[in-house]
Structure 1
Amino acid sequence: MSSTSAESDAVVVTESAADKALDLLSGEGLDTDVAGLRLFVQQGGCAGLSYGMRFDDEPEDGDSITEHHGLRVFVDSSSKRYVEGSTLDFEDGLQGAGFHVENPNAESECGCGESFRT
């Protein structure tokens, strides 16, 4: 795992999450050397805050930029304080497949795990 910023990694990404995200990025026709996965926090959800993810062509000014298993991850400065120290994983099981954020900063999560409170 290498970091492309001088800061510590805001988020750790598991190999399975990176592999899945890279597959999806390639499927969208995006250049994985420049584009990346943006992880952000927004108001909403039953617990107050929720995670958001999308693919971006390139980072924005002020982003924390890290690389994990070949995947570039972008986190904006306002979201970083909520997700710092988190692990992003990809789970594929009986209840469905998807990305999951394990966040040590969350004091509580809603029952579905989609929103949290700090």
Structure 2
Amino acid sequence: MTKKAAERLSAVMEAEGKKGFGLRMEVTTGGCSGMNYNMSFEKEKKEFDKVFNSQGMQIFCDLKSYLYLKGIEIDFSNDILNGGFQIVNPNAERTCGCGTSFSV
């Protein structure tokens, strides 16, 4: 996770009253490329989660999603056309134009 992404996530967490929560990263089926990225905030990890720390933030990931998310980089951009969170996934063979779905 880049510093910009961590700063933005921390600001969103604070605005939503979820300061101190962790970031849950998940992969679900759907989207134009077959798989979607999902991000949400959670207070605690689940029983079989992988837990990572990046830029002072805890990241939770279930074992199935971890197979697809291993090695990703989460970034944030303020760009007017392509702004928002961006995920660079070295496991993805193809990604959609908006960057929210991928295939392996």
Q: Does TM, normalized by the shorter one, top 0.5?
A: yes
1:24 aligns with 2:12: yes
Separation of aligned partners in 1, 2:96 and 2:14: 32
Tell me, which stretches of 5 or more residues in structure 2 are unaligned? none
The DSSP-based 3-state class of the residue aligned with 1:55 is: strand
The TM-score with structure 1 as length reference comes to 0.83
Equivalent of 1:37 in 16, 23, 32? 23
What are the within-5 Å matches in structure 2 for residues 50-61 of structure 1? 50-61=36-47
Identity of aligned residues (%): 38
Separation of aligned partners in 1, 2:95 and 2:79: 20
Separation of aligned partners in 2, 1:38 and 1:110: 22
Matched-pair contact (CA < 8 Å) for 1:38–1:53: yes
How much does 1:59 deviate?
1.1
The DSSP-based 3-state class of the residue aligned with 1:51 is: strand
Q: How many residues align?
A: 104
Tell me, which stretches of 5 or more residues in structure 1 are unaligned? 1-12
Cα RMSD (Å) of the superposition?
1.1
2:90 alignment partner in structure 1: 104
Equivalent of 2:70 in 74, 81, 84? 84
Separation of aligned partners in 1, 2:23 and 2:8: 11
Moved over 4 A (4+): none
Give the letter aligned to residue 40 of structure 1. Answer: E
1:72 alignment partner in structure 2: 58
Give the letter aligned to residue 26 of structure 1. Answer: E
Matched-pair contact (CA < 8 Å) for 2:26–2:65: yes
Separation of aligned partners in 1, 2:70 and 2:82: 26
1:95 alignment partner in structure 2: 81
Separation of aligned partners in 1, 2:29 and 2:8: 26
